[in-house]
């Protein structure tokens, strides 16, 4: 028998400790929550991506009466970025959520399906995507990559 201990590093910064571009990304994620279409959950999520040329792409959750047909903020942003700018790496993603009149005090971490999509972005572009998760407690939780949040993940290497 052997045991494997997997560790994940998350660094928690205050907003002020973030770099200028990280602040811009967080601000964009917060701002775009206002364009979310979330009449069912009322949970408005914003995602902002930093592309390698410095462009910021935003997306928000888009719900539907047939619930599974909706899409999370992160995938809305990633699929738009990859469809419009396939030659640009995605360097970072900021996520924020607005609920019950305020930004959430708990971090919003990308769901499993969004993680899987972001994992493939990392392998497609051979480059980590830094994940920044905002809370209204003046804290930004930062993971260096999506793969660091997904130990033992399934990816295209399985087909080899
Ligand atoms: N949602 C996101 O957009 N991103 C996440 O990381 C978590 C959940 C959306 C899906 C749904 O529209 C609403 O938030 C409530 O789950």
Please tell me the pTM assigned to this model. 0.96
Closest CA to 27 of 52, 50, 53: 50
Contact 22, 94 (CB under 8 A): yes
- What is residue 156's predicted lDDT score, i.e. its pLDDT? 87
Rounded to an integer, the average pLDDT of 93-122 is 97
- What is residue 157's predicted lDDT score, i.e. its pLDDT? 86
pLDDT band for 54, please (50, 70, 90 cuts): very high
- pLDDT over 90 (residue 155): no
Distances from the Cα of 53 to the Cα of 49, 85, 141, angstroms: 11, 10, 24
Using the atom order of ligand 1, give the atom closest to the CA of residue 63: 12
- pLDDT over 90 (residue 105): yes
Per cent of the chain over pLDDT 90 is 94
pLDDT tens digits for range 116-138: 999 999 999 999 999 999 999 99
pLDDT band for 56, please (50, 70, 90 cuts): very high
Q: CB under 6 Å to ligand 1: residues? A: 38, 41, 43, 45, 61, 63, 70, 72-74, 108, 110-111, 114
- What is residue 160's predicted lDDT score, i.e. its pLDDT? 82
Kindly state the DSSP code that residue 127 receives in the 8-state scheme.
S
Strands 130-135 and 90-99 come out as parallel
- Give the largest CA-CA distance in the chain: 52
Nearest CA to ligand 1 atom 5: 110
Would you kindly state where each structural domain of the chain is located, as residue ranges? 10-149
- What is residue 68's predicted lDDT score, i.e. its pLDDT? 96
Q: What amino acid positions are annotated as catalytic residues?
A: 74
Question: Would you state the structure tokens that stand for residue 121, as one six-digit string?
Answer: 């972005």
- pLDDT over 90 (residue 101): yes
- State which CATH number among 3.40.30.10, 3.40.140.10, 2.60.40.3080, 3.40.50.460 fits the domain covering 10-149: 3.40.140.10
Q: Residue 26 belongs to what H/E stretch?
A: helix 20-32
- pLDDT over 90 (residue 65): yes
Closest CA to 63 of 40, 30, 47: 40
HSE-up of residue 75 (Cα within 13 Å, Cβ side): 16
How far does the centroid of ligand 1 lie from the alpha carbon of residue 2, in Å?
Answer: 37
């Amino acid at each position: 028998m052997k045991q494997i201990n997997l560790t994940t590093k998350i660094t928690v910064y205050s907003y002020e400790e973030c770099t200028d571009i990280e602040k811009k990304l967080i601000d964009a994620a917060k701002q775009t929550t206002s364009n979310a279409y979330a009449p069912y959950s009322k949970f408005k999520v914003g995602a902002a991506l930093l592309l390698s040329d410095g462009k910021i792409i935003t997306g928000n959750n888009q719900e539907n009466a047939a619930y599974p047909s909706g899409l999370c903020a992160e995938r809305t942003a990633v699929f738009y970025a990859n469809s419009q700018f396939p030659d640009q790496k995605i360097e970072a993603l900021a996520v924020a959520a607005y609920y019950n009149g305020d930004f959430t005090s708990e971090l919003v971490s990308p769901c499993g399906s969004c993680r899987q999509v972001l994992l493939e972005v990392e392998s497609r572009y051979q480059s980590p995507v830094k994940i920044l998760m905002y809370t209204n407690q003046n804290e930004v939780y930062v993971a260096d990559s999506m793969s660091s949040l997904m130990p033992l993940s399934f990816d295209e290497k399985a087909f080899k």
